[in-house]
Amino acid sequence: MQIDPRGPRFGAAVTTLILAITLVTRSPWLLALQAVVFAFGAFDASPYGLLFRRLVRPRLGPPSELEDAAPPRFAQGVGLGFAIVGLIGFAAGITPLALGATAAALLAAFLNAAFGLCLGCEMYLIIRRLQPGRTQ
Amino acid sequence: MVGIVVLGVTLVVGVIIGFAVRRRDGKVRAVKQVVSDARAVVTSDDLGVELGERVTLVQFSTAFCQPCRATRRILHDVAEMVPGVRHVEIDAESRLDLVRRFDVMRTPTVLVVDVAGNVVKRASGLPRKADVIAAVGVAVDGPSHESSHQSDSV
């Protein structure tokens, strides 16, 4: 599937904002909300993507090129992983874990929004490298 | 208060990482030649196809890689334009043996391989076409043209 690359970028900007407010207010509910968004995003149904298509894209010109949906979808899954760890931190009362995991997800979202760098995608090969080797 | 500090630190770290990656991204770097190591040499067995007549551009890609498509286009163009140059794309996931052997950490990673199978240059991230063409030139001429003392290390 091919998508407008500005969609995930817009989503990353909203995610950055939500996670920043999460850190400042230390609200587990906001993080839970973002975790739900990540979960939908991992199945190509991000609410932020919907927001982009309904409200933002009609105001923009057509995209200069399309890109594959798989990388951003994978990155949403990575984001969900961090959000879940953060929620466990909040639930268990381990504040450093909660804030650390939220900060990690925020870092990835910020790099995507500001620099177009997909940290989750970069992690993919490194994770695969750590798994037991195949000869061919 | 702690949250605001964490937020500030995270954003500063993000800006530093962002600019560092942007600076390094796609830069074509020279590769030190280790002549005695047979594992450092790319063979047609590794690739499953013959090496290019003069230069082979080996691209490592994954399904979850945004700049891989643009990189493919650039390398394809260079292979079309310069005679004797072949572009080979490798799915990093199915060839983790090569990924480890050539120490590939990111996709896309491009190895510029000369006719003897030596990796002359490499780049990770989307390279610029002009840089690829320049690297192909070096690989055709042999590394001795770029740096005369490299043969001394044999």
pLDDT digits (tens, 9 = 90+) for A111-132: 999 998 888 888 888 888 887 6
Q: Considering only CA atoms, which of A11, A30, A8 is closest in space to residue A99?
A: A30
Residues from chain A contacting residue B11 (CB–CB below 8 Å): 110
Cα distances from B38 to residues A98, B97, B117, in angstroms, run 48, 15, 10
Domain residues of chain B, as ranges? 28-153
The predicted structure's pLDDT at residue B153: 43
The predicted structure's pLDDT at residue B39: 79
Do the chains contact at B100 and A99, CB–CB below 8 Å? no
Are the beta carbons of A34 and A15 closer than 8 angstroms?
yes
Write down the architecture of domain B28-153 according to CATH: 3-Layer(aba) Sandwich (3.40)
Task: For this complex, say whether ipTM is above 0.95.
Answer: no
Residues from chain B contacting residue A110 (CB–CB below 8 Å): 10-11, 14
| Chain B nearest C-alpha distance from A2 (Å) | 12
The contact set of A with B (CB < 8 A) is 5, 20, 23-26, 67-68, 70-71, 74-75, 95, 99, 102-103, 106-107, 110-111, 114-115, 117-118, 120-122, 124-126, 128-129, 131, 133-136
Q: Of B9, B93, B105, which has the smallest distance from its Cβ to A126's Cβ?
A: B105
Residues from chain B contacting residue A107 (CB–CB below 8 Å): 10, 13-14, 17
Residues from chain A contacting residue B67 (CB–CB below 8 Å): none
Residues of chain B with pLDDT > 70, as a percent, come to 90
CA distance A45 to A105: 19
Q: How is residue A119 written in tokens?
A: 């940290």
Per-residue pLDDT of A22-78, as tens digits, reads 999 999 999 999 999 999 999 989 999 999 999 999 999 888 888 888 888 889 999
Q: What is the average pLDDT across A80-109?
A: 96
